Structure 1
Amino acid sequence: MMKLKLNLLFDDLVRRFGISKSLVSKMFNAWMQVLAEKSKDLVAWLPRETIRACCPEFFRENYPSTTVIIDCAETFIQRPTNLKTRSETFSNYKSHNTAKYLVGISPHGQIMFISKAFGGRASDKFIVEKSGFLNYLLPGDEVMADRGFTIEIFFFLVV
């Protein structure tokens, strides 16, 4: 929990508690799985009717079919020792090793989708395709994204 709250390095936790790095890693991963399991019901895809009913006036008037607003978020991770993993997680955009997530929010600001973590090298299009996000969309749904998403994604979503 100290890792989450204070963002301490694993090496720091090794020294503080006098345990091995592999044990710190195992404990961290175990707690992350518990937290993910306990919090999964907090992120739910809303029915279209609920989205429309709660939609702010600006969206209702200007973007009436917008169902979800998406963006990819990256979080810094420690530099992996495994060379393959290191290359898969290196983000040219952040110039650092990162984990990358696709996040979708409703027009009124409720988080409706968070993907599993991908390596920082993964493209936005790849994450949209592989995350299961597309399974939630219905015909007529419009997806809003910032300019960082390539135009190919929009064609991909429409198909």
Structure 2
Amino acid sequence: MLALHFGLSESSVTKYFKKTLPKVAICLNQLIRWPSADEVRENLPIAFRKRYSKAISIIDCFEIQIEKPSNALHQALTWDTEGGPQTQLHIRVFEDSGFLDKLPLGSIVLADRGFKNIAHLLEQRGCTLLRPASVGSSSKPTAEEVLQTKRIAAIRVHVERCIGKLRDFKMIGPHSCVDISYIKFLDNIVTIACGLVNLKDCIFSNQV
């Protein structure tokens, strides 16, 4: 589309696009900030205040489909599996992200069941990971666990709405498939999308 609009070849547009992505990401990264603990508490939605007044963050993730790499090792690195080396990789990525450094002592971090392997890292920082109880085939959840799961799900919906806004961008949409040559630019692409989302209206009103 850009090639047709500007009278350029597709190869030229691709070259300019890839060259520009990191520069745009640097600019829009300034629109992504971690608020202070006081700012979080002042703006904490009403739904959080009764039971989760110490909540400082909701951690979540989303998958991006990519073209299948031809290299078998590269293919294996993209598989989303539980346990073993892949879990250790997820933990290392989490540690290297700088997320832990942002958490004040005594903070609560909300998550879904899939984040159980980071609980010990939060405990080392004096923080608490709050997530629904794990579901086992041999045990039935208690009434309290079911209620807790519903409560956490009701307030985690806000981060799902944020992810939904990111998914509005076609390149990282739910049914998109990123070209193999753009994998190294994915951090830039997501940064740009996040910066643009932060320029939009609030996710929820002050009364939610």
TM-score bracket, normalised by the shorter chain, equals 0.5 to 0.7
Pick the structure with more helix per residue. Answer: 2
Cα offsets for 1:2-38 (capped at 9, x unmatched): 6xxxxxxxxxxxxx94639xx94x5443232123112
Structure 2 residue aligned with 1:80: 69
The match for 1:140 among 101, 106, 111 is 106
| Normalised TM-score (structure 1) | 0.60
Q: How big is the alpha-carbon RMSD for the aligned residues of Structure 1 and Structure 2?
A: 2.9
Partner AA of 2:64 in structure 1: T
Is the CA contact 1:134–1:157 (under 8 Å) kept in the aligned structure 2?
Answer: yes
Q: For structure 2, which runs of at least 5 residues remain unmatched after alignment?
A: 3-7, 125-208
The structure number with the bigger radius of gyration is: 2
Corresponding position: 1:38 with 2:27 = yes
Aligned-pair CA distance for 1:62: 1.0
Give the aligned length: 115
Q: For structure 1, which runs of at least 5 residues remain unmatched after alignment?
A: 3-15, 94-120
Is the CA contact 1:72–1:124 (under 8 Å) kept in the aligned structure 2?
Answer: no
| Paired residues for 1:2-21 under 5 Å | 17=9, 19=11
Give the fraction of aligned pairs with identical amino acids, expressed as a percent. Answer: 31
Pick the structure with more strand per residue. Answer: 1
Aligned-pair CA distance for 1:61: 1.0
Point out the more displaced range, 38-47 or 70-79: 70-79
Partner AA of 1:127 in structure 2: V
Is the CA contact 1:69–1:144 (under 8 Å) kept in the aligned structure 2?
Answer: yes
Distance 1:32 1:89, change over 3 A: farther
| Paired residues for 1:80-159 under 5 Å | 80-92=69-81, 123-150=89-116, 152-159=117-124
The one of the two structures with greater contact order (alpha-carbon pairs below 8 A, sep at least 6) is 2
